[in-house]
Structure 1
Amino acid sequence: MVSDTSTAPIYLLCRNGDYAATVSQQLAMFGLRAVAFPRASALLAAIHGEAPLAVLVDEAGCEDMMLTQVLPMIARLNSGPLVYLSLPMAAQEQIELARAGVTDFLPKPFDSHRLIDQIDRMLEAQSPQPARVLIVDDSETLTHWASNVLTMAGMRVRSVKNPLKVPQLVALEKPELILLDMYMPECTGDELAKVLRQNPAFDGIPIVFLSSETQRGRQLSARRMGGDDFLVKNNDPDELIDIVAMMVDRYRRLRELMTRDSLTRLLNHTHLIERLLQEVARAHETVRPLAFAMIDIDHFKSVNDRYGHAVGDRVIKSLARLLRQNFPGADLVGRYGGEEFSIIFPDASLLRAAQQVDDLRQRFSELCHISGNGEPLTISFSAGVAQLGNGMQTEQLIETADAALYQAKAAGRNQVGLAR
């Protein structure tokens, strides 16, 4: 996730005090501050004073205005989501509300998870990671033009003349799109695309051919070899930017579905281990430190048994959100399984990694979780941290961190164990 801007409040327009309190409690569980207003005039004044992350509007309305009046006013003042809380309604009603400025609809009973996911995505969109583009072309003129166009659009561009170096560069740079010349001395673009598509790790990366080729049959043939699109060289710069941006966005969405755990949006088990394997190999090659942490929520089975799996899921998501806040990009953090999480610490000593995990433990233990009947809960986690040793392989590192985790649990839980 991006840097934590969740100190900004979420405003709720609602005349029902009990319902407003319920919504506020659920948001507080995720570390979000909700401020409820029974009157629209007070809400509008608050927006003038402090911009909110989002504005929630209850279908029951407010005390001093009709919603048909206040919704357009909120929409004009507020740049974030304007979310309407309601029972199921007809499509025509939703269309009218959307015309009035509503951006999203949440069904009752209020589901904080859906709102949290939406806010996280909004924050990520406000501070997007630059698209990583690899240009493969033996023409310095074309490479210079395309590189300048995309760099000025905020993208991170790497270029290479020799196509035979591309597989190694793709593995190193992890581009999110490849702009590939069709005709080069060493090989053709479609031949290189076919080679790249043989590697499962590269299979989903969008490939856009750049060429002066205008014959439609030749273009289609190249796409059958593994290309995703075809652009004529020296085309409109805006078109190049738009196509690259759209294809990178689609690639990111598809990759998130493949690599992320659906509940937490952290790396799933398979891709967490894959990333750890990469970091272990890099650490051995560069002789740099690497630490690894295993985290387990304390007494989680009791939470599920006593309060239900819905509450358990909220606890898991609250920890996942803290992890995303503390580790931007979330590509070093994953859900190991169930209530277990893992963090990879490249270039970090054992003590430095343990300190970061302990700071996270303290923050999580201070969160107020709410059960289905409104009962407040405080929940903790235990963790184990290990350092990669000389000759140690990935499986050994995981086992060592896991042993440190059990050491922390045996010592009373809610603490961080260090591998011996």
Structure 2
Amino acid sequence: MKYQNDLAFARQLDEQDPLRDFRNRFLLPQHNGEDAVYLCGNSLGLQPASAQQYLADQLANWKNLAVEGWFQGNDPWLNYHKSLTGSIARIVGAQENEVAVMNSLTVNLHLLMVSFYKPDNKRFKIIMEGGAFPSDQYAMESQVRFHGYDPKDAIIEIFPREGELTLSTEDILNVIDQNKNELALVLFGGINYYTGQFFDLKAITDAAHEAGAYAGFDLAHAAGNVSVQLHDWGVDFACWCSYKYMNSGPGGISGIFVHEKHFTDKELNRFAGWWGYRRDKQFLMAPGFDPEVGAAGWQVSTAPILLLALFKASMAIFDDAGGLDVLRKKSLRLTAYLEFLIHEINKQQEEEVYSIITPADPAARGCQLSVVCKRNARVIFNYLSQNGVIGDWREPDVIRLSPVPLYNTFEDVYKAARLMADALKAI
């Protein structure tokens, strides 16, 4: 498509957008009595307008049924979590019994590493991307130390080549091959939180398996954002948060994926809890853990119904929109339009003031563009905030902007870019 740097053009795209009415199903923050330009779905998704009702319904069940709410009412709590697995499975490209909704992201990462990081004297190394989100780094360091290894010896971080900002798939695969005799696990983010790079998960998975290692992914910035096919790609495990692109609320419920090929592997360790016990005998309260078949067997603690209710409100919107493939088509156009407008700003300057470090290849990114500001970066970010553009800041000079297809418009993108241009004149 040939884009135009024009408000009328942006509004024309919105008129043609088959998803345009879904914006009305979310509550946008206000700025001077108008909707703010919210481009921070990579950090926290907006509240569905229906969230209060979904939550109120379960509060009413608690009020009216008390403990009987586990077994009575329209949505008995005992199986409430199962009502989400179909939607989640479609989002991450899984079979329904390969996903479970549970806990929070880093808790799930630890629980899955109990199963899939099994170091021995020969294989003990983990490969990860350099510059991963700190929580992943801390989790891996603590797991390595727990097993008696020094992170300096056991963890291999892959960084971009000198002078480059993102990782080469070729380099990732080469490092995996070079360490194949000592490698236990490859654990990457699906999308790097800082650069916005979407990694080739299938290629990484295939290389890990060729090396005799497991492949797992933290999909915090990928789930609900880009299309993934975890089952078909043979990924061993994955986990994600749901409060970013899946709008479950601050600190919302997380989820896991475990490939069905591991369901009957009794050699896998796991930390067990009653909620993961096989459902047909759960209330016999018998000693000895006998897990439920599927990812549900990795559950530990009782499902938090109020958090699940908030998540369910958002999943209903995803389902009504037609799923992630439909959303992704709009997402590609929104992000490409923002990219075009930023390039237009640079053409008016004597230098490239706004440098996009996110890959230019649409297949190698999601919604997010990470923009290096080469002139008065923090001042520009503050100017945007003061004028109703909500993005987020990463030291020392990066602004992350993420137009989300469910609730962002082409006019939002146009307004944000216009203010980025205005900021250069105002400072």
Same fold per superposition (TM over 0.5): no
Structure number with higher strand proportion: 1
TM-score by length of 2: 0.23
State the structure with more CA Rg. Answer: 1
1 or 2 for the larger relative contact order (CA 8 Å, sep ≥6)? Answer: 2
